[in-house]
Structure 1
Amino acid sequence: MDVPKLLEAAALLVPEPLATANDLTVNDVWHHLTHDEWEVALGLLEELGDVHPLPLAFWQTLATAAEQMRLERSAAWCHWRCYETRHGIIRADLAFKPADVARRQTPFSGAGVLRPMWNIGNRTPTGEPALNIAGLWVELRPHLEPGRRATVRLAPLDPAQWQHLQPGQVITMHKDRTVAGTAVILSIQRK
């Protein structure tokens, strides 16, 4: 299927009254589609998908369109949202340790590439902390530098291990056994 048809199919999955914070609606998407402004239409559809939960097919269709347009970050975001549609959303405020006290000296990509270990309170059979892996997406930033903080989204490798988390809970990010950052859970939307 070509890009315009994919975007049209995704637009049909958006409820008519849904609007972004800037009062943009699916009618604005249709306007951009009629003018062959596909990248703008894709961006608007991504925004509308953040306003109200939309079906998995919506995000899968957008991911395919973004891949065909060679928009890597948009494609990665749409695939991320596919994961969240299946497993739920975990958002946290992450404080990444400064380079002078942590092993990581360079920024990391905010587009879901990093999959650090997390101490979320689970224990091994011998009572040691069990570290759980989760992908990390940095909201509204292309990367995160040491010493900075940002709102992040987490995609656990094994979501069942994360079911006990609650907003306000503090978890730690690890590069190895050393702490690379501390995060406070902001919100959880379970499936």
Structure 2
Amino acid sequence: MTRIAAPRVRGGPMPSTLSHDDMTHVELTWIEKKIEYWTRFGREAHEQILDRRRRVVSFRPNTVFAFVRWAANDFGTIISRIDIVRAIEPGELYQTLPFVRPGGEILLKIEGWPKVEDVLRHIDAIEALGIEADAVSPDHWRHVHNRMAAGHQPRAYTLDQHRAFLLRRRMEL
């Protein structure tokens, strides 16, 4: 993990210069069937529209969000990736990620559309239990990352696990 100054963003204002400078800023782009960068979950604290295809969403510290990137050219898909990230506190160490300023704690990083779809289905299953995906234990997202990286199916997140996580978090406060 590194602590560095936010890099410049080409082609638009620097998200880190927005008035919410203690937040994590994510630049989203949507050019149908070419570049599709979007968030799957996470409570946005602020949104800035840059133009009709780009916007910057901002997350408060300790907010967990999923950032999906898909892009293609004339020959097919060139990137498909999902990252589940925890927005950092000011001064906290972080990992860098393209289009995320300054960066965050990466809880899950998966590449390749079939695996990305598996993660999206996993998120759907959690939400089907009535649990908001951004409220899930960060340890569970690490578990999903590690199991998938090893070529195994991750275990399902359960209501009992979630209750235990909430109790543990309450005890830490």
TM-score > 0.5, shorter chain as reference: no
Structure with the higher helix share, 1 or 2 = 1
Looking at CA atoms only, which structure, 1 or 2, has the larger radius of gyration? Answer: 1
TM-score w.r.t. length of structure 1: 0.29
Provide TM-score, normalisation by structure 2: 0.31
Higher strand share: 2
